[in-house]
């Protein structure tokens, strides 16, 4: 008897006992749907994290000051040491440090720093007032935020060191100021700074404003009222503020991904450690944001797998249920088995018939489980999105929710439910196939 015939036979026998088949499947359905629900949630969290972090360039290091441990040879008692420990101007990061880093490792790093400068206001040819936020930024800052330059160029390190009055404005600002069709590059615009003085800036580039990354405008706001940032070189902003030698207590530094993350991290650490070698209290701590993300992901993976394994235990319970029902079924159908044997069914045909039946129960159960699992996962995801969008609105701009069932988990579930059928169906099927036809025929 062929395989196709066995499948046909199994279906007719299962449909003859619909209720029993369904109850048997229930164990498998619950097991598989639990696994799929959990993996869908795990996968969605991972995707959401990925999408959220994808909005910014993750290839950066966060460099902070870190206290040195007490050293007995420093000429102070431990109490004195800790009492006198504080961050002074001299301890902080300076432009000189950044410049020598960039010189030592050309093309490897970019500084990604910014500082709010002032609110800037200007007037267009229709005498409409346009409000902006003037922000000092380095070349790496726009890159890290994945802010796309759609016309002209980004702020450069040279603009920065020469403290030029260059500006990168938003596409929205271009529309507000120039209307359509006029090329803004090279145009000089006078801004009133905090309503106190005026400054002229030359537009060198236009970036595309992204509400997801840079914040949504209040609902229903008119185009002319939209406030967008105008980026000027960081050192220009500092100079305008009256700070000639700016210092920073942290640094965000992008690295060129042509170099390995480990190498980039090591170079950066040794560079700054050298800078702080003579410092009594402070050294640096370098945090690799990329590796943080992969660490979060791997922790999440472990949790998902662990919970899935727990959920998979219910599959084993389901499998035992299938075996139980198959055993009952072969006793109930002893006579049928006897008849089939008398008509010339070989042991292998009988075995195949019952194994196929068990596999089909498990497969159908598995498919139903996968569907309910995905529905569960999506439902939970929707609830979370709803909460984020309506209750925790602060995070709404940052989090990009993505609900995605895990394809791997689905494939594994299908294979696993088939194996459950084969494993738990084989023993009853083998028992059925070994029945003595004379006894089986006589059974009532």
Partner 1 sequence: MSKTVISMKNIIKRYYIGQPNELQILNGISLDVHEGEFVSIVGASGSGKSTLMNIIGALDRPTEGTYFLNGTDISTLNDKELSRIRNSEIGFVFQTFNLIPRTNALKNVELPMLYAGKSKRERSERAMQLLELVGMKERYTHQPNELSGGQKQRVAIARAMANNPSILLADEPTGALDTKTGRLVMDIFHKLHKEDGKTIVLITHSPELAQETERIVTISDGSVISDTGVKDNGLY
Shortest reach from residue 33's CB to partner 1, in Å: 30
For partner 1, the closer of residues 19 and 343 by Cβ is 343
For partner 1, the closer of residues 5 and 200 by Cβ is 5
For partner 1, the closer of residues 4 and 219 by Cβ is 4
Binding part of the chain for partner 1, among 236-244, 269-277, 404-412, 436-444 by CB under 8 A, reads 436-444
Structural contact between residues 115 and 239, judged by C-beta atoms closer than 8 angstroms = no
Distance from C-alpha of 60 to C-alpha of 213, rounded to nearest angstrom: 17
DSSP H helices in 189-288: 211-214, 234-241, 261-275
What is the helix (H) or strand (E) element at residue 200, kind and residue range?
Answer: strand 197-207
What φ, ψ does residue 67 adopt, rounded to 5°? -70, 145
For partner 1, the closer of residues 41 and 440 by Cβ is 440
Among 157, 427, 441, 443, binds partner 1 (CB under 8 A): 441
The candidate with the shortest Cα–Cα distance to 431, out of 353, 365, 344, is: 353
CB atoms within 10 A of CB 391: 10
Shortest reach from residue 322's CB to partner 1, in Å: 21
The alpha carbon torsion through 354, 356, 358, 364 (nearest 10 deg) reads -150
Shortest reach from residue 1's CB to partner 1, in Å: 6
The candidate with the shortest Cα–Cα distance to 3, out of 339, 344, 357, is: 357
Structural contact between residues 176 and 128, judged by C-beta atoms closer than 8 angstroms = yes
What is the helix (H) or strand (E) element at residue 318, kind and residue range?
Answer: helix 289-332
Burial class (CB in 10 A: 0-12, 13-18, 19+), 179: exposed
For partner 1, the closer of residues 114 and 433 by Cβ is 433
Distance from C-alpha of 24 to C-alpha of 321, rounded to nearest angstrom: 6
For partner 1, the closer of residues 13 and 24 by Cβ is 13
For partner 1, the closer of residues 171 and 336 by Cβ is 336
Shortest reach from residue 436's CB to partner 1, in Å: 9
Contacts of 165 (CB under 8 A, 6+ apart): 199, 200, 201, 202, 232, 236
| 437 forms part of the interface with partner 1 (CB under 8 A) | yes
Count of residues that interact with partner 1, criterion CB under 8 A: 22
Structural contact between residues 216 and 395, judged by C-beta atoms closer than 8 angstroms = no
Shortest reach from residue 55's CB to partner 1, in Å: 60
Task: Write 300-306 long-range contacts (CB < 8 A, 24+).
Answer: 300/42, 300/45, 300/46, 300/49, 301/42, 301/46, 303/42, 304/38, 304/39, 304/41, 304/42, 304/43
What character string, x for contact with partner 1 (CB under 8 A) and - otherwise, covers 100-139? ----------------------------------------
Structural contact between residues 58 and 260, judged by C-beta atoms closer than 8 angstroms = no
Distance from C-alpha of 429 to C-alpha of 345, rounded to nearest angstrom: 14
By CB under 8 A, the residues from 326 to 355 that bind partner 1 are: 335-336, 338-347, 349
Distance from C-alpha of 410 to C-alpha of 374, rounded to nearest angstrom: 9
| 18 forms part of the interface with partner 1 (CB under 8 A) | no
For partner 1, the closer of residues 2 and 242 by Cβ is 2
By CB under 8 A, the residues from 278 to 337 that bind partner 1 are: 335-336
Shortest reach from residue 339's CB to partner 1, in Å: 5
By CB under 8 A, the residues from 49 to 108 that bind partner 1 are: none
Among 3, 12, 69, 222, binds partner 1 (CB under 8 A): 12
Binding part of the chain for partner 1, among 8-16, 95-103, 114-122, 376-384 by CB under 8 A, reads 8-16
Distance from C-alpha of 273 to C-alpha of 290, rounded to nearest angstrom: 21
Shortest reach from residue 438's CB to partner 1, in Å: 5
Shortest reach from residue 29's CB to partner 1, in Å: 25
Shortest reach from residue 323's CB to partner 1, in Å: 23
Shortest reach from residue 430's CB to partner 1, in Å: 14
For partner 1, the closer of residues 336 and 397 by Cβ is 336
Residues of this chain that bind partner 1 (CB under 8 A) = 1-2, 5, 12-13, 16, 335-336, 338-347, 349, 437-438, 441
């Amino acid at each position: 008897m062929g395989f196709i015939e066995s499948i046909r036979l199994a279906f007719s026998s299962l449909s003859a006992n619909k209720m029993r088949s369904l109850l048997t499947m229930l164990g498998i359905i619950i097991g598989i749907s639990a696994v799929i629900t959990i993996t869908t949630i795990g996968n969605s969290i991972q995707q959401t994290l990925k999408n959220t972090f994808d909005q910014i360039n993750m290839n950066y290091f966060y460099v902070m000051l870190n206290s040195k441990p007490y050293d007995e040879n420093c000429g102070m008692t431990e109490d004195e040491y800790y009492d006198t420990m504080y961050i002074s101007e001299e301890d902080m990061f300076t432009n000189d440090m950044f410049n020598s880093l960039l010189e030592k490792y050309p093309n490897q790093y970019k500084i990604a720093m910014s500082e709010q400068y002032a609110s800037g206001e200007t007037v267009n040819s229709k005498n409409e007032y346009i409000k902006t936020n003037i922000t000092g930024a380095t070349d790496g800052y726009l890159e890290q935020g994945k802010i796309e330059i759609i016309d002209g160029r980004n702020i450069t390190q040279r603009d920065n060191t020469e403290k030029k009055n260059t500006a990168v404005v938003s596409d929205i600002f271009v529309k507000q100021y120039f209307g359509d069709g006029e090329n803004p590059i090279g145009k000089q615009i006078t801004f009133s700074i905090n309503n106190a003085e005026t400054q002229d800036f030359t537009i060198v580039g236009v970036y595309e404003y992204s509400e997801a990354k840079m914040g949504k405008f209040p609902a229903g706001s008119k185009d002319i009222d939209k406030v967008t940032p105008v980026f000027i070189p960081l050192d220009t902003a500092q100079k305008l503020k009256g700070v000639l030698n700016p210092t920073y207590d942290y640094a965000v530094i992008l690295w060129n991904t042509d170099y390995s993350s480990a190498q980039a991290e090591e170079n950066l650490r040794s560079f700054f450690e050298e800078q702080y070698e003579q410092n009594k209290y402070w050294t640096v701590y370098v945090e690799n944001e990329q590796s943080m993300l992969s660490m979060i992901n791997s922790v999440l993976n472990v949790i998902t797998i662990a919970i899935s394994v727990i959920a998979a235990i219910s599959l084993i319970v389901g499998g035992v249920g299938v075996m139980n029902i198959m055993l009952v079924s072969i006793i109930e159908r002893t006579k049928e088995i006897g008849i089939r044997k008398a008509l010339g069914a070989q042991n292998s045909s009988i075995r195949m018939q019952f194994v196929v039946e068990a596999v089909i129960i498990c497969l159908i159960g598995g498919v139903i489980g996968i569907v309910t699992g995905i529905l569960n996962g999506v439902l939970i995801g929707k609830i979370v999105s709803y909460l984020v969008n309506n209750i925790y609105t602060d995070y709404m701009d940052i989090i990009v929710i993505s609900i995605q069932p895990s394809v791997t988990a689905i494939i594994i579930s299908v294979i696993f439910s088939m194996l459950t059928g084969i494993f738990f169906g084989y023993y009853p099927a083998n028992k059925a196939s070994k029945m003595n036809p004379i006894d089986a025929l006589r059974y009532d």
